Structure 1
């Protein structure tokens, strides 16, 4: 291993914001410097909610241009992004149209159609992936039925991080961890589940080559390879942002529960091979690809989305709160009075979230929150209970109770939520790093460049780089009763909406 500093660029895209960061390894520690941050939002075009790719690409180019004009040579560039969304390339390598957004109302409709056509057992058995209406599978089912021209024009489907890699290098492959979020990738066999797509009437001619994280897909295109980016390669990291975040999670125990906490919370454990059983299907546990041959056995939880949606709504009413202000307010009121299932379908689009929370509580017999503080406390209490629900289901399918929890990502800064999580699950919660996704992205590039030795080496360096804050459980009263109420709500919602589960 060389010990002179090496710097790589990590493009890290979330569902609300993006950033370009320079990450330098000095032989002992990683240093992350965010070059550019930008926000973005989907918008309806031609009747479908789509991502503004021009805005995303503009933000990325701005960050890369800043790096190109800097003092430090950049050895490589790699991008990670949220899962499930995709772009379609035509024969000339152009995008057929802007990538569609998983929050479009067409997705639940298409999921219901697919479940009626082949059943949840068929879908889960073919893939090992959690059945959710956000899955790519249901977007392409909708495309095939309602917008077949999109698929007819396409020669290659690439997941969102690989849309960026295509724009960086003209590559036409998609990366394994991102492909594993589609709901039509066979996790047991490591191939596309073409038989499932055939049964659902979805063409398969556009399915790309899937490459492992760490693959070098070529140099930057000439119009980008300028200045300090002149010699940079494009190295695909774990493309799914959660996969990159898990790489950079300094777990104190191999059986620890990780929570990649942001708009979505991905809650799971790391295992050596897929676990696809009737028990995991009933629990709606997903198998997603990880780095270095690992599998992320997890469930998606609707994370901080409800809090973000509430904050946006209050802003439209004229009051703009910072997230720390909202958390402080939530700490001033009693907890476990109002509980919702944040994964209920009525919360998916985030419209008028405070009123929907109140309506849900009224309908289910919970105390209806009135103030901003009470609404936020309801969201955070419910999220902690959601984390416990996943922990209990993972114990059921693996036979192991989680000894601790590691929270990474933006949610690691939420002290109240971290303490509530420790109290709800009853184990220590370790928080940090906040920038786990960008660090994991960069660290896997450094492995490919020969600067780091692999997953264990990455986590050793991350532990030396990051200050971790620990929360110990101290308030147990009321949590078991609240958890019973929460699981009852989940069961009612599954039955009411015809969702997979027990």
Structure 2
């Protein structure tokens, strides 16, 4: 009898539920439900509609019934850093405020007055981004200290969704590390840091590694769906799941390409040296306590916003076609400038940046898209150079995973500017990583080596060689 697992993969702009099973030595995928994930305004903050997300998960599970499939397990992964707080009765004390909310403006510098940037990096190994959980919590404490004091449970987004499924609460390792509140070496909550920040340590739960079973569905949901499932912890941070899907990780730089671009290497220990701090690299926890030494770069969010600014008159594929026609146009923006995090109008912001830096101003949709793609490729090149400087070695291959790996023009750009071979795929990297961890929990797959061999045998990877265009 075929055994199925169900991956819930929710990104910053959309979510989907994907059924997976192994057949003839290959992992088979079937997307059964897809939905939008939009930021809403609540109580003067930009928030995620977490109740709507849970309803969409239930819709997807019910679709299993329509297919006459009863999955053995379900696992949820989402973006990182965001959270909710629960009171002693497990009621929400906070909205699921989104990382793009401006409540953390200026907060990072206030935290540095309590603990130096250097010591914070040495202990946590996490890059400095103004929206990290540590700064969100400090901003909340500053504005509403009574909420922090009253909180009995801190749950990140996938953990809260797990709680809604099971009634059980657990903090998961890969996502916990993104908070900048976990000691990189003990792999536990840094209670000394929490005390210095005046953040209630009692709300943090014991950190569980991926592959652990949170529980089974609540009685109410079993009655609703007509079947039960094990709720497994995958790498609940979506990048953690995605990197598991890199088929050949050794000597490879990976690039998880989606709303965000995450570029780095897999390592077996954290690297907290001054040069890593200087270049703002992070050491996020991975499966089996491996580390994702990577840099977070503004990704295809920019082109998503450009698409929206043009009233969705062009598809993503059409933006690529338009950009290809602008081969002689070249202007660059710093994609990591905070001005691109949530501008009122991305197109105007790009144009203003080019004007202020005395570059040619992109005027057409094709020129705007070409500017974004050139800027991303240039940013990837700079990050790879920094990785090679820190490791004192060169890498010959880049493996692009996730939805962005379908952009053949960008893949070729990356190969050209880095002078490295680019391998593109698998496309559904995050869901695949989610599923293989569930299979490990169910003892259908032995370990990460066997999982990567299964992935390599199951999905096509396309290769791009550097090309040189004269004049």
Instruction: Give the TM-score band, short-chain normalised.
Output: over 0.9
Which one of the candidate residues 171, 178, 192 is aligned to 1:181?
Answer: 178
1:418-450 per-position Cα deviation (integer Å, ceiling 9, x unaligned) = 111111111111111111101110110001111
Residues 329 and 367 in structure 2, CA contact (< 8 A), matched pair in contact too: no
Structure 1 residues 108 and 402, CA gap change in structure 2 (3 angstroms): farther
Residues 42 and 52 in structure 1, CA contact (< 8 A), matched pair in contact too: yes
Which one of the candidate residues 298, 321, 343 is aligned to 1:328?
Answer: 321
Which one of the candidate residues 413, 421, 434 is aligned to 2:406?
Answer: 413
Q: Counterparts of 2:116 and 2:42 in 1: how far apart (Å)?
A: 31
Which one of the candidate residues 331, 353, 356 is aligned to 1:338?
Answer: 331
Structure 1 residues 277 and 248, CA gap change in structure 2 (3 angstroms): same
Residues 406 and 431 in structure 1, CA contact (< 8 A), matched pair in contact too: yes
- SS for the counterpart of 1:321 is coil
Asked if residue 347 in structure 1 is aligned to residue 343 in structure 2, the reply is no
1:320-347 per-position Cα deviation (integer Å, ceiling 9, x unaligned) = 2110011110110025621001110111
Partner residue of 2:78? Answer: 81
Structure 1 residues 350 and 23, CA gap change in structure 2 (3 angstroms): farther
The alpha carbon displacement at 1:219 in A equals 0.8
Q: TM-score by structure 2 length?
A: 0.97
Asked if residue 430 in structure 1 is aligned to residue 423 in structure 2, the reply is yes
The alpha carbon displacement at 1:247 in A equals 0.7
Asked if residue 135 in structure 1 is aligned to residue 128 in structure 2, the reply is no
Partner residue of 2:15? Answer: 18
Partner residue of 2:373? Answer: 380
Asked if residue 6 in structure 1 is aligned to residue 10 in structure 2, the reply is no
Partner residue of 2:155? Answer: 158
Asked if residue 282 in structure 1 is aligned to residue 278 in structure 2, the reply is yes
Asked if residue 396 in structure 1 is aligned to residue 389 in structure 2, the reply is yes
The alpha carbon displacement at 1:229 in A equals 6.3
The alpha carbon displacement at 1:301 in A equals 0.5
Asked if residue 305 in structure 1 is aligned to residue 301 in structure 2, the reply is yes
Q: TM-score by structure 1 length?
A: 0.91
Comparing 206-215 with 191-200, which one deviates more in the overlay?
191-200
Partner residue of 1:241? Answer: 238
Partner residue of 2:438? Answer: 445
Equivalences for residues 71-110 of structure 1 within 5 A:
71-110=68-107
The alpha carbon displacement at 1:153 in A equals 2.8
Q: Counterparts of 1:234 and 1:477 in 2: how far apart (Å)?
A: 55
1:2-57 per-position Cα deviation (integer Å, ceiling 9, x unaligned) = xx532001010000001111111125111111111000211121122111112111
Partner residue of 2:262? Answer: 266
Q: Counterparts of 1:57 and 1:434 in 2: how far apart (Å)?
A: 25
Residues 75 and 229 in structure 1, CA contact (< 8 A), matched pair in contact too: no
Partner residue of 1:292? Answer: 288
Q: Counterparts of 2:343 and 2:258 in 1: how far apart (Å)?
A: 15
Asked if residue 475 in structure 1 is aligned to residue 468 in structure 2, the reply is yes
The alpha carbon displacement at 1:477 in A equals 7.2
Structure 1 residues 37 and 465, CA gap change in structure 2 (3 angstroms): same
The alpha carbon displacement at 1:475 in A equals 2.8
1:99-119 per-position Cα deviation (integer Å, ceiling 9, x unaligned) = 110000112321232234433
- SS for the counterpart of 2:342 is coil
1:255-298 per-position Cα deviation (integer Å, ceiling 9, x unaligned) = 20111111001111001111111111111110001112211000
Residues 11 and 37 in structure 2, CA contact (< 8 A), matched pair in contact too: no
Aligned alpha-carbon RMSD (Å): 1.6
Q: Counterparts of 2:376 and 2:470 in 1: how far apart (Å)?
A: 17
Asked if residue 112 in structure 1 is aligned to residue 109 in structure 2, the reply is yes
Unmatched 5+ stretches in structure 2: none
Structure 1 residues 227 and 451, CA gap change in structure 2 (3 angstroms): farther
Which one of the candidate residues 25, 39, 42 is aligned to 1:42?
Answer: 39
Unmatched 5+ stretches in structure 1: 479-502
Q: Counterparts of 2:79 and 2:454 in 1: how far apart (Å)?
A: 25
Residues 305 and 350 in structure 1, CA contact (< 8 A), matched pair in contact too: no
1:160-216 per-position Cα deviation (integer Å, ceiling 9, x unaligned) = 111111111122111100001111111122111222232233232211111000001
Q: Counterparts of 1:145 and 1:136 in 2: how far apart (Å)?
A: 14
Residues matched between the structures, number: 471
The alpha carbon displacement at 1:72 in A equals 2.2
Q: Counterparts of 2:468 and 2:193 in 1: how far apart (Å)?
A: 47
Equivalences for residues 174-213 of structure 1 within 5 A:
174-213=171-210
Residues 6 and 26 in structure 1, CA contact (< 8 A), matched pair in contact too: no
- SS for the counterpart of 2:254 is strand
Q: Counterparts of 1:70 and 1:160 in 2: how far apart (Å)?
A: 28
Structure 1 residues 476 and 140, CA gap change in structure 2 (3 angstroms): farther
